[in-house]
Amino acid sequence: MTSSAPAPASATLDPANPFASPSPLPYGLPDYAAVREEHYEPAVLAGMAQQRAEVEAIATDPAPPTVANTLEALERSGRLLDRALRAFDNQLAADATPGLEDVQERLAPRLAAHADALAMDARLHARATALADAAASGDLELDADTAYLLERLLTRMRRAGVALGAAEQERLRALNARLTTLEAQFGRRLLAGANAAAVLVTDRAELDGLPEDAVAGAAAAAAARGHEGAWLLELQLPTRQGVLAYLRSRDLRERVQRASESRGADGGEHDTRAIVLETARLRAERARLLGYPHHAAYVAEDSTARTADAVEQMLARLAPAAVANARAEAGELEALLRATEGDDAELRASDWAFLSEQVRQARFALDDAALRPYLELERVLRDGVFEAARRLFGISLAERTDLVGYHPDVRVFEVFDSPEPGRPGEGLGLFLGDWYTRGSKRGGAWMNALVDQSHLLGERPVVVNNLNVVKPPAGEPTLLTWDEAITVFHEFGHALHGLLSDVRYPSQSGTAVPRDFVEYPSQVNEMWAWEPQVLRAFAVHHATGEPMPAAWVETMLASRQWGEGFATTEYLAAALLDQAWHRLAPEEVPTSVDEVVPFERAALEAAGVALAAVPPRYRTTYFNHVWGSGYAAGYYSYVWSEVLDADTGEWYRERGGLARANGEEFRRSLLARGGSQDPMTSFRELRGRDPEITPLLARRGLEA
């Protein structure tokens, strides 16, 4: 460590700390019932110290490097740190407290320094290089997954700056420490700002149009914050807020839209602009230090895209047709608006969801509010998500009410390989579901792994899905919008990637793949929500048990492309905005917070996606994916992965769709592989060729 690094902590941990030894619970589920806030920091500090000692022993081993004493030893190192940090990161995202946020800010620079110390260790690099040289000369034969593990290790160390001089490494360490602190601060400030920006309604009449269960949820949310007799419309992470599809009050819709779009840019205590600018500047400096023109180039090199230019070209190919479709949709919506508001009414972003829902009702006889009673969470899970997984992959899930999570809302399921329906076979792991929103949970939806599958360590996976569905009052059913139902399928696709992993090394488990590939399996899993036999099974009225009318199902299938102009444009605007910020050199980053919004406006105009009624899915100041999470210069990955997803949808259809043989092939060729080989090799094994973009263009109505 350098003189600027924090002082090393003791490797000794109080045996009473729940992380001091592996969890005694099934599959290594963290014992959250025993974990208290004060356990995390000492466990992480001791875990770092233990791993440093383990790595020191590897680096100074006098024996020549081997797979066992170098690669496998590195994979086995840091088990205490891994246990504590995974449990902490998961709870911080899903059930944060001020104390946990303080711990994160204290730990962030130390964790960055710890990672740097390992990645920049010249002795480790020399041992790994010796192994690579022996393999290249034919003196050492490596299994394919081990060869890929070695290749990735050397790549990570190169990209971490192992070859830099001492002064450059010192600066790189300082940059990494500061960036991790900034990312933690952004997430904390954004969560607080979102809670503060929730829209309080005191007149029940203003909520006209909002479904009754959503009104009850808003009343419960208000009461929880001390506003008895009022209603609180809590903000979701994206710009577009779900309630806007229902609210008839144009004034209230505009209030909600303004609250959403003003997050992080109000000049108050929750303003994120200074964090954004410093983060962008430091990332650009780090990229230059490592030999890249900008951060986007640094990120793309280690992805399946390979270059930032390839990303730019793909987004540029999609943008013109998407914007043309969005303008056509806007024309229809504005005509509808003027029919009720007068000939001089102009379409606002806050009008879009409401008017689009009117068009859907008129053109397709679909009312999203009418669909909700047929989309009850429990049924969507049991007869939709879990049943599709059983048919495809031969797995079953059984709830374990004897096991608890990190919050009372968390449910725990054991996952089995099931050779026959209703007959559980071998236990695969655990799945935790945490579907409800709360003030302590960050926005959006995501999957975490609490334990990675690994044959080397003899561990089976424990994975978590988090959503942000409004929790109904006690005893009431949880009714979903169609978008929320799709999200349940999407996130379980990530869970399947972790649960069905079948690899030797923990660092190659499950979703340990490039950012622009990780969304691919989850997007594939969305297709089963649209599969008629699956849809008919879970789309059942929660009270009467009646199936959704067949005509509605057919109409839903027929209406899939309505609104794709808006959806594609808002997404591309965010992806292009992400690229614009991260293609800057350090000296090109704005220096004043007053320049953030003008920079955003200019970037959107230059990309041809500046539509007032179609704001980016995330504006700069609340774009948590890129300023507080791991998607910096990588938000494009959703549509990049969708190219693979749409092509795979064609593969399934060509082979008969929802069939056990197809699922087994997808599982064997792709899900089980995790990151044990180049992910595009996995795709080619499945598809027999490189991906084609045509299926995506057809799906989104972008052939023109």
Say how far apart CA 476 and CA 65 lie, in whole Å.
Answer: 61
CA atoms within 13 A on the CB side of 134: 16
Q: Is the pLDDT of residue 45 over 90?
A: yes
DSSP 548-567: PPHHHHHHHHHTTTTTHHHH
pLDDT tier, 1 (very low <50, low <70, confident <90, very high otherwise): very low
**pLDDT tens by residue, 681-698:** 999 999 999 999 999 999
Give the CA distances from residue 30 to residues 19, 75, 102, 420, 559, in Å, rounded to whole numbers and listed in that order: 8, 20, 21, 31, 44
Strand duo 395-399 + 231-233: pairing:
unpaired
DSSP 377-393: HHHIIIIIIHHHHHHHH
The predicted structure's pLDDT at residue 367? 78
% of the chain exceeding 70 in pLDDT: 98
What is the DSSP code (8-state) at residue 655?
Answer: T
pLDDT top residue among 6 and 300: 300
- Strand order across the 427-436 sheet: 395-399, 411-417, 427-436, 462-469, 446-451
Q: Is the pLDDT of residue 3 over 70?
A: no
**pLDDT tens by residue, 496-528:** 999 999 999 999 999 999 999 999 999 999 999
What average pLDDT does the segment 478-507 reach?
Answer: 97
**pLDDT tens by residue, 360-408:** 888 887 777 889 999 999 999 999 999 999 999 999 999 999 999 999 9
Specify the 3-state DSSP secondary structure of 395: strand
- How many other CB atoms are there within 10 angstroms of residue 117's CB atom? 18
Say how far apart CA 456 and CA 98 lie, in whole Å.
Answer: 37
What is the DSSP code (8-state) at residue 246?
Answer: T
% of the chain exceeding 90 in pLDDT: 91
Q: Which of 152, 287, 159, 231 is nearest to 679 (CA)?
A: 152
The predicted structure's pLDDT at residue 558? 81
Q: What is the CATH number of domain 376-558?
A: 1.10.1370.40
Quick one: 544 exposed, middle or buried, by C-beta within 10 A (0-12, 13-18, 19+)? Answer: exposed
Per the listing, tokens 């919050």 go with 407
Q: Topology of 26-119+121-159 in CATH?
A: Glutathione S-transferase Yfyf (Class Pi); Chain A, domain 2 (1.20.1050)
**pLDDT tens by residue, 532-546:** 899 999 999 999 999
Say how far apart CA 186 and CA 169 lie, in whole Å.
Answer: 26
pTM (2 d.p.): 0.90
Q: Is the pLDDT of residue 72 over 50?
A: yes
The predicted structure's pLDDT at residue 2? 38
Q: Do 509 and 633 form a contact (C-beta atoms < 8 A)?
A: no
Range(s) within the chain of domains with CATH label 1.10.1370.40: 376-558
- Which residues carry out catalysis? 491
Residues 6+ positions from 73 with CB-CB distance below 8 Å: 54, 57, 58
Range(s) within the chain of domains with CATH label 1.20.1050.40: 26-119+121-159
Q: Is the pLDDT of residue 7 over 60?
A: no
pLDDT tier, 305 (very low <50, low <70, confident <90, very high otherwise): very high
What average pLDDT does the segment 200-220 reach?
Answer: 96
Q: Is the pLDDT of residue 284 over 90?
A: yes
Q: Which of 357, 352, 351 is nearest to 369 (CA)?
A: 357
The mean of the pLDDT values for the chain is 95
pLDDT tier, 11 (very low <50, low <70, confident <90, very high otherwise): confident
Q: What would you report as the CA-atom Rg of the chain, rounded to the nearest whole angstrom? A: 25
Residues 6+ positions from 577 with CB-CB distance below 8 Å: 600, 603, 604, 616, 618, 619, 620, 623
Task: Write out 271-298 in H/E/C secondary structure.
Answer: CCHHHHHHHHHHHHHHHHHCCCCCHHHH
What average pLDDT does the segment 251-261 reach?
Answer: 98
Helix (H) or strand (E) holding 433: strand 427-436
What average pLDDT does the segment 529-533 reach?
Answer: 93
